[in-house]
Structure 1
Amino acid sequence: MSEHIHILKDKTRLDELCRLFATGLGMTERPYWEWRIFTPNGQFMQPEAIVAENEQGQLIGMCSTLLEEYGEHKWKCVKLCDWVVHPDYRGKGIISKLYQFMYQRYKNQEFDFFLSFPNSQSYPIFQKLGYNEKVGVKIWSSQQRLFMIKRPAKSMIIHGLEYRFTSHCPIQSFPLRPDRLVRTPEYMRWKYDKNPANSFQWLTVWNGTELIGYFVYAVTQGRLRRVITVYDWEFAFEAQDAFCQAVKLLEKQGNGVNIWGQYGQKESLLLKAAGFQEKACGTHLMLKAISEKGYPDLLTLTRVDTDY
């Protein structure tokens, strides 16, 4: 069997892409992929969808990418997302062929490294492809109590700092720390404000006109619990008191707060100071170098399991 690997540029095939995605990872709708693949996101390069076709021209596999610059040294990173292969074609090396296509493409464009989050099923495949696993992704949970008084989000001033709740990105510049993947204001608005699949909320902390930190989060209402899940956050390391106070305000909206990610020592200290407890996670963080430069020793990531 001979597969054709290429970049998907035809919007008329998005319904077919939705059907392919549903065979492996669940239902999606056309507006999501129009936003995800064809909408400018403020990063230095447009995201791409790499697809595999069979001899009849049907989509049988895909992987989408986010192309980002990382840290103050501007490492060029290919973040691999949305891996899926049609059940009839699994075990036939489709992922390897998609990967080989991407490796050559991004090597020619002088990218430095791949970053991916395989699940337990695809983890052995990435091992065979030569990916290296970094420090494990964790779930940090705070105040997981069944009965709490839930209060609506309300902006307020506490000890001279303003805590603002908004439904859109109010921030004009990024980042607060140089070790983060670059999040331009345009990118954050694309990712959280314009995402047709989710409704995100923001909690930002200000000292006058100076940004101290922020949380981007979503509320999940279950039968018994109302959980606050943080998708992105960033605080100056010296703003520990403001971070802890912001967490308390988030906790009052539900039964608990969850933060997913892989962090360095300073971020872990912030989380522990706010009462978060560290738990194991089934998500793996794996990297592979493309250029001789390799990849950074420290990666600070958040909500890695699903947000793109």
Structure 2
Amino acid sequence: MDIRTATHNDNTPIIELLRVSLGESLIPKSEKLWQWKHVDNPFGKSPVLLAEDNGQVVGIRAFLQWEFSNKGKTIKACRAVDTATHPTYQGRGIFNQLTGRLLEEVTADGIDLIYNTPNSKSAPGYLKMGWESWGKLPLKLNFHLANSRKTVLVNSDWAQVQKLVQTIETGDPTFSEGQTRLVKGYLNWRYRDNPLYHYQFISDGEHYLLVYRIKEGKMGREFRICDLFTKTELSKNAIKELGIALNQQIKISGARFSSFSGLAYSKQNVLDMGLLPILRVGPLVTLRKVSEHFSPMDQVWNWSLGDLEVF
């Protein structure tokens, strides 16, 4: 069995392996999604390794390149994402071999940390390989029990906020302290061009941009506030206007509850989401130290839900 770097010509067998191993589940597998996620990413192309046996791709391991900002400094990261082993080859240690080899490669490339949000089944395996549990992301929840009807929302026209998007991405890098570094093209790639989820926004086109999506789940329809960006400190009128617009969209959506990162919520004074306390009920975050000069567990993180969503 050979381990090698994936090339563009491997996209079709990669998608076939993902389908055979994982099925479509909640995230459909397609070359369009792979291209957007692992090639068009503004942080760079994903490092991807394959396990091959007699010319057949039987294992895959991909790390999604990412960057965070901390006090004006760039933290180079990767997110452990797509992995699969052909059912016939499972139990032979292919996952560990590919992950270990890929860790060696990204270490040589100057990556500071690896992060991911594993489920309860995969988390123990990552912890055995040196990942550490940061804990569950705190969430600020607000319930809207009066909402019952489900209305199709009018699609947001992202062309209307392109000037504001450019301003946000070229602004003060300390704005995203402890969050994703807002490089040029990130917001359009992450939200407007996302082939998996449909993202909407609330904005006055000049001062603020709130990005959200509607998610169906066991608790009912969720109004998920993925990110909130403000160009400057908002006036009282702007805060009031945003609050009214948000409440209107929540009502129109028929969402039973809204959610926002508790880390981001505690550091803003724009949104008022009721009196319920912030609870650690979000996704589990695990971190893997890569650079000997960087300790991810000692950082002050301010992740948004958009930073940690699985896609």
Bin of the TM-score, shorter chain as denominator length: 0.7 to 0.9
What residue identity is the alignment partner of 2:199? F
Number of matched pairs = 289
Q: What does residue 96 of structure 1 align with?
A: 96
Higher helix share: 2
Which residues in structure 2 correspond to 1:269-288 (within 5 Å)?
Answer: 273-275=272-274, 277=276, 278=278, 281=281, 283-288=283-288
Q: What does residue 188 of structure 2 align with?
A: 189
CA positional deviation for 1:250: 3.3
Q: For 1:98-129, what per-residue CA distance to the aligned partner results, in whole angstroms no more than 9, with x for missing partners?
A: 22112211111111111111111111111111
Report the CA distance shift for 1:229/1:56 in structure 2 as closer, same or farther (over 3 A). Answer: same
- Bigger Cα displacement from structure 2, 291-300 vs 103-112: 291-300
Which residues in structure 2 correspond to 1:42-53 (within 5 Å)?
Answer: 42-43=42-43, 45-53=44-52
Q: In structure 2, how many angstroms separate the alpha carbons of the residues matched to 1:133 and 1:267? A: 23
CA positional deviation for 1:300: 2.3
What residue identity is the alignment partner of 1:197? L
Q: Is the 8 A contact 1:151 1:252 kept in 2?
A: no
Which residues in structure 2 correspond to 1:1-308 (within 5 Å)?
Answer: 2=1, 4-11=2-9, 13-22=10-19, 23-24=21-22, 26=24, 27-39=28-40, 41-43=41-43, 45-71=44-70, 72-145=72-145, 147-148=147-148, 166-167=157-158, 170=162, 171-172=165-166, 173-174=168-169, 176-205=175-204, 209=206, 211=207, 213-220=208-215, 226-235=221-230, 241=239, 244-245=243-244, 247-256=246-255, 257-259=257-259, 261=261, 263=263, 266-267=266-267, 273-275=272-274, 277=276, 278=278, 281=281, 283-291=283-291, 292-295=293-296, 297-301=299-303, 302-303=305-306, 306-308=309-311
Q: For 1:163-188, what per-residue CA distance to the aligned partner results, in whole angstroms no more than 9, with x for missing partners?
A: xx534563112364333211224022
Partner SS state of residue 21, structure 1: helix
Partner SS state of residue 135, structure 2: coil
Report the CA distance shift for 1:141/1:69 in structure 2 as closer, same or farther (over 3 A). Answer: closer
Q: In structure 1, how many angstroms separate the alpha carbons of the residues matched to 2:280 and 2:223? A: 18
What residue identity is the alignment partner of 1:63? A
Report the CA distance shift for 1:220/1:69 in structure 2 as closer, same or farther (over 3 A). Answer: closer
Structure 2: which 5+ runs fail to align? none
Q: In structure 1, how many angstroms separate the alpha carbons of the residues matched to 2:307 and 2:119? A: 11
TM-score, with structure 2 as normaliser: 0.76
What residue identity is the alignment partner of 2:259? I
Q: Is the 8 A contact 1:237 1:270 kept in 2?
A: no
Partner SS state of residue 187, structure 2: helix
Q: In structure 2, how many angstroms separate the alpha carbons of the residues matched to 1:24 and 1:263? A: 32
Q: In structure 2, how many angstroms separate the alpha carbons of the residues matched to 1:189 and 1:81? A: 21
Q: In structure 2, how many angstroms separate the alpha carbons of the residues matched to 1:259 and 1:195? A: 20
Q: Is the 8 A contact 2:141 2:258 kept in 1?
A: yes
Structure 1: which 5+ runs fail to align? 155-164
Q: Is the 8 A contact 1:52 1:59 kept in 2?
A: yes
